[in-house]
Copies of this chain bind each other. A is one copy, B any other.
Amino acid sequence: MSEYGKTFKAWRNAAGSTWSNYTRHAFVEGLGNGSLPRAAFLNYLVQDYVFLFHFSRAWALLAAKADTPEEMRIAASTIDGLVNHEMAHHIQTCAAAGIDEAALFSAEEEPENLAYTRYVLEAGYSGDFLDLLAALAPCVMGYGEIGARLSREATSTEYKDWIATYASDEYQKVCVDVGALIDAAVARRIGTLDNSPRAEKLAGRFETASRLEAAFWSMGLRA
């Protein structure tokens, strides 16, 4: 997915099978071929709402750590997109299934959910803008990659709305913009990743977050 930027491509390659374990997880394949049980999907949606709340907090923390007006503007737009569109979309979808927002927000947070968001937030608090971006990237771009692939490969229409959301031009543009934000942040803070002693640590953050994403899908299947 080189269209999401040079740094993403390097991190994705370095993550190896961890990346494919996440983006080609059984849950994902079930979205594509329609075999995913509805109960698992709803369980995932509820947990994902709680996830999006903490993920929005993490994007807000990124804005708090911005160094330039441009970094601030992209982070602010992303927070707006998450809070006022993606979370709102979850609320609507769940409402249609008879789950209201209060129930969503008060859902018991599963261990895999908690582990993932706290890892991302802590990476941001203890590190800098770039440490946080490396931990945020797998969710943003992984969903973009999954949405784009399933929109071509899906053999069922069961989960076409979910697929369409992440395959949409709008969401793909978010991935491209975040990829450009990452490349610019690397240029600004490191220069080039090659030969940088930080390269391994940043790639490690990306890989850990990808592993936590795969565990999140497995949690979804438990329902």
Contact = CB atoms under 8 A, between A and B. Distances in A.
Interface of A: 53, 56-58, 60-66, 68-69, 72-73, 75-76, 79-80, 83-84, 87, 101, 105, 111, 114-115, 118-119, 121-122, 125-128, 131, 187-191, 195-198, 208, 211-212, 215
Given A69-B105, A128-B128, A197-B190, A63 B79 contact: yes
Contacts of A80: 76, 79-80
10 contacts: A57-B66, A60-B76, A69-B83, A69-B105, A73-B83, A73-B84, A76-B84, A111-B115, A126-B128, A189-B198
User: Which applies to chain A's interface (DSSP): helix, strand, loop or mixed?
Assistant: helix
Contacts of A114: 115, 119, 208
A214 to B, nearest CB: 11
A18 to B, nearest CB: 13
Contact of A57 (B58, B126, B191): B126
